[in-house]
Amino acid sequence: MQHIVIIGATSAMAEHCARLWVQAAPVRLTLVGRDEARTRRVADDLRVRSPQSDVHVMTSDFVDAAAIQRTVSHIVNQAAVDVVLIAHGVLSGQGTCQDDLLACDAALQVNGVSPVLFAEAFAKPMVATNHGTIAIIGSVAGDRGRKTNYVYGAAKGLVSRYAQGMQHRLAQTNVKVVLIKPGPTDTPMTSDLKAKGQKMASVEVVAQDIVKGIASGKPVVYTPGIWQVIMLVVMHLPRFVFNKLNI
């Protein structure tokens, strides 16, 4: 039975990925969240959908390196890991981060440093077994800094560069590193953007792309795929043109 670990299991993207995995075949799932009650609700739903699956729940401090190490050590000591999906994050308002240095620090920690620490903690035992996939959810926001979300984008840019380096490091092993870059997606995290009329991708479609990308071991997965073209254009816009855009 495949062992899949989800960090940030209460995120909408992660929950829909888990539903796809248990629908495909019984799996051992380890769900890691910050809120035990919410994580247990996700686990209970998955057990109903797949009684044959073996679903475990853990909580952890996501911004404490020692706690992250203890959590990962406990998981890998229980059973070898086939897939890790690191999915947690918060969409902190850019204005809030500019006005409040503590909020800025928290946004950088949870969106950038924390996913990197989880990935690093899993890499060592997975390299030792020479097996598995580490998938990290980044964002198209990490491709180029923009005035409307550059704190969030900077954290996701850190994740992108880190994943790129880890892919290089593990290229000669059987451990895959998959960086997932979703565009704006209809989840509770983006409810404010949706209320302002911003077009969102379906979380179901994004989850399907994530699960397929992890199965294929593709290094970078833009979802929906059109965002690869959009960001290619955005990244290559001359600065004098880019600076005139209200994005």
Outline where the chain has alpha helix (H).
Answer: 12-24, 36-49, 65-78, 94-99, 101-108, 114-129, 150-169, 191-195, 203-216, 226-236, 239-242
Task: Report helix, strand or coil for 89.
Answer: coil
The neighbour count for residue 229, using CB atoms within 10 Å, is: 10
The neighbour count for residue 171, using CB atoms within 10 Å, is: 11
pLDDT digits (tens, 9 = 90+) for 178-202: 999 999 998 888 887 777 778 889 9
CA gap 227, 215 in Å, rounded: 20
pLDDT at residue 79 in the model: 96
pLDDT at residue 171 in the model: 97
pLDDT digits (tens, 9 = 90+) for 73-82: 999 999 999 9
Sign of dihedral through CA atoms 238, 240, 246, 247?
positive
> Using an 8 Å Cβ cutoff, are 210 and 180 in contact?
yes
C-alpha dist (Å) from residue 139 to 67, 125, 145: 25, 26, 12
pLDDT at residue 91 in the model: 87
Q: What is the DSSP letter of 86?
A: E
CA gap 46, 19 in Å, rounded: 7
Would the pTM of this model clear 0.85, i.e. be above it? yes
Q: Which residue range(s) make up the domain with 189?
A: 3-243
Best CA proximity match to 18, nearest among 3, 33, 29, 34: 29
> Using an 8 Å Cβ cutoff, are 76 and 65 in contact?
no
pLDDT at residue 190 in the model: 82
> Using an 8 Å Cβ cutoff, are 156 and 231 in contact?
no
Which residues contact residue 77 at a Cβ distance below 8 angstroms, ignoring those fewer than 6 apart?
none
Give the angle subtended at the CA of 240 by the CAs of 238 and 245, to the nearest 5°. 95
Give the angle subtended at the CA of 177 by the CAs of 174 and 179, to the nearest 5°. 160
Please state the domain count of the chain.
1
Give the angle subtended at the CA of 225 by the CAs of 214 and 247, to the nearest 5°. 120
Q: What is the DSSP letter of 54?
A: E
Look up the CATH number of the domain holding residue 143.
3.40.50.720
Residues of the chain with pLDDT under 50: none
- Directed axis angle between helix 150-169 and helix 101-108, to 10°? 30
